[in-house]
Chains A and B, each alone.
Chain A
Amino acid sequence: MTHPQSEHWSDYIDGELPLAEARELETHLEVCGECRRLLNELRGVVARAGALEDRPPRADLWPRVSAQIGVSRRRFVFSMPELLAAGIALMLISGGGVAFLLRDEIGAPVAWIRPEPEPVVRTVATGGGYDAAIGQLQRELAKGRGSLDSSTTRVIEEKLALIDQAILDAERAVAADPGSEYLRAHLTRSRLTKLDLLRRATELTRTIS
């Protein structure tokens, strides 16, 4: 009996064969025990590969990793186009919401230094770490804002106002429908976008000053 080339059985398992060829192989299988056995063995290998257990390294690598990342400080490469790109992402997330600027009594924009509003809901994913990071970035940004020109400042403020509104909307939506995974993911994305924007804006003040 002529058997198909053994490689075809791998292709067959992986669904890489045109239908007609697959049918031919199946016809052959009906009459050939040898190829049936080979096919089963190959399937066994594939199944075994998919069921491999992961195991940790012999020793915890974190002490060595942390020692190394402690000495190699990351540098952000950061540009206005990137900031604007982040702004475009924000526009999308806000769903075309209207931009507004928060101003204090003398009319100076304060969007990024006002205290965080108490969130309506808080997903577990954004716990104290998130709030602390937002707070720290906002303080840093408030300190460094003098180094930015006024048009940059305005762009950042507009974007922050948009994202804050988006976060508030998302929080309300989640509060109304706490079971919705989509809404929760949307809220997380909105919060991450704020974190990202603040991070970039802060980097910008560091780069300039």
Chain B
Amino acid sequence: MKHEDRSEPPSEVGARGGFQPSSGIGSPKPRMPTTATRGAPAQKPGAHDPNETDAVDAALAASGDAHAFERLYRRHINRVHSLVRRMMGEEAEEVTQEVLVHAWQKIGTYRGEAAFGTWLHRVAVNLVLSRRAGRRRWRDRFAENDAEAMELPSKSTVHLAGLDFESAIAALPARARQVFVLHDVEGYRHEEIATMLGVTAGTSKSQLHYARMALRETLG
């Protein structure tokens, strides 16, 4: 199988379109704070619907209300920082900060087609991917240049045994880590991941499987 593995950063998918998450049918339903309804009791009249609350605060923030934006920040920071951290494979708090500033600047383009959390996560993914090239560590570069290692996942490529699950994700080669986080943690589909990363869906599948095989070692 041929692997596309471009060393230049993938194009910033969606950036020009205002960071809109892909909409509608067949697009991923990221496992994210879209609704807080799963497993929750049926909503009582008058109770807060988190999506409605987000939608109102997003509209207020778009008209310049920084307090509304802070409320959005408080509700979403843990999720969005965890996403950034896992995608980057390091704490990367300055990147999370950049995501939030970017979200503030772009919030006027948020039209409420998707849940605010979904939109925000897409902003984060786009930013992380656009920054990737400049921030890759030697380990990633080494691993990504080793196409053979990608073809034939083997335990000799990365050693994850003994690491906790989060650290093991961080220790994966960048591309495998990103695909794994986007697919198995965030719930995006291969087709969409392929577009975001500028690879084929087949490559996305291979990278995902590589990551899963490697991560088995952490589940003793």
In contact, B205 and A130 (Cβ under 8 angstroms)? no
A161 at the interface (CB under 8 A from B): no
How far, in whole Å, are A50 and B219 apart by their CA atoms in the complex? 14
B4 at the interface (CB under 8 A from A): no
In contact, A59 and B49 (Cβ under 8 angstroms)? no
Chain A residue contacts of B105, Cβ below 8 A: 69, 72, 74
How far, in whole Å, are A65 and B66 apart by their CA atoms in the complex? 11
In contact, B184 and A50 (Cβ under 8 angstroms)? yes
The interface-forming segment of A26-34, A39-47, A162-170 is: A39-47
B62 at the interface (CB under 8 A from A): yes
Q: In angstroms, how far is the closest chain B Cβ from the Cβ of A113?
A: 18
23 A-B residue pairings within 8 Å (CB atoms): A10-B209, A42-B212, A45-B212, A49-B180, A54-B78, A57-B93, A57-B96, A59-B93, A62-B77, A65-B101, A65-B104, A69-B101, A72-B105, A74-B104, A124-B46, A124-B48, A125-B53, A129-B67, A179-B45, A184-B49, A189-B112, A199-B59, A199-B62
B60 at the interface (CB under 8 A from A): yes
Q: Which residues of B contact A (CB under 8 A)?
A: 31, 43, 45-49, 52-53, 55-57, 59-60, 62-70, 73-74, 77-79, 81-82, 86, 91, 93, 96-97, 100-101, 104-105, 107-108, 112, 153, 165-166, 180, 184-185, 190, 205-206, 208-209, 212-213, 215-216, 219
Chain A residue contacts of B91, Cβ below 8 A: 57-58
In contact, B63 and A69 (Cβ under 8 angstroms)? no
The residue that A69 contacts in the complex, of B74, B78, B104, with Cβ under 8 A, is: B104
- Residues A45 and B185 in contact in the complex (CB < 8 Å), given A52-B165, A133-B63: no
- Residues A42 and B216 in contact in the complex (CB < 8 Å), given A54-B79, A74-B108, A125-B52: yes
In contact, B216 and A68 (Cβ under 8 angstroms)? no
Chain A residue contacts of B93, Cβ below 8 A: 57-59, 61
Chain A residue contacts of B77, Cβ below 8 A: 56-57, 61-62
Given contacts A45-B215, A58-B93, A125-B55, 9 further A-B contacts (CB under 8 A): A11-B205, A42-B213, A49-B180, A50-B184, A57-B93, A58-B91, A61-B81, A181-B49, A189-B112
- Residues A196 and B53 in contact in the complex (CB < 8 Å), given A41-B219, A57-B81: no
How far, in whole Å, are A159 and B31 apart by their CA atoms in the complex? 37
Q: In angstroms, how far is the closest chain A Cβ from the Cβ of B82?
A: 4
Chain B residue contacts of A59, Cβ below 8 A: 93
How far, in whole Å, are A195 and B62 apart by their CA atoms in the complex? 10
In contact, B60 and A133 (Cβ under 8 angstroms)? yes
The residue that A192 contacts in the complex, of B56, B66, B153, B184, with Cβ under 8 A, is: B56
How far, in whole Å, are A137 and B62 apart by their CA atoms in the complex? 13
- Residues A68 and B219 in contact in the complex (CB < 8 Å), given A178-B46, A192-B56: no
- Residues A178 and B184 in contact in the complex (CB < 8 Å), given A62-B73, A195-B60: no
Chain B residue contacts of A124, Cβ below 8 A: 46-48, 53
Q: In angstroms, how far is the closest chain B Cβ from the Cβ of A120?
A: 14
How far, in whole Å, are A74 and B104 apart by their CA atoms in the complex? 8
Chain A residue contacts of B208, Cβ below 8 A: 10
Q: In angstroms, how far is the closest chain B Cβ from the Cβ of A72?
A: 7
Chain B residue contacts of A48, Cβ below 8 A: 165, 215, 219
Q: State which residues 105-159 of A face B: CB under 8 Å.
A: 123-126, 129-130, 133, 137
A7 at the interface (CB under 8 A from B): yes
The residue that A6 contacts in the complex, of B53, B166, B213, with Cβ under 8 A, is: B213
Chain B residue contacts of A11, Cβ below 8 A: 205
How far, in whole Å, are A170 and B53 apart by their CA atoms in the complex? 18
How far, in whole Å, are A129 and B54 apart by their CA atoms in the complex? 13
A2 at the interface (CB under 8 A from B): no
How far, in whole Å, are A207 and B89 apart by their CA atoms in the complex? 44
Q: In angstroms, how far is the closest chain A Cβ from the Cβ of B122?
A: 17
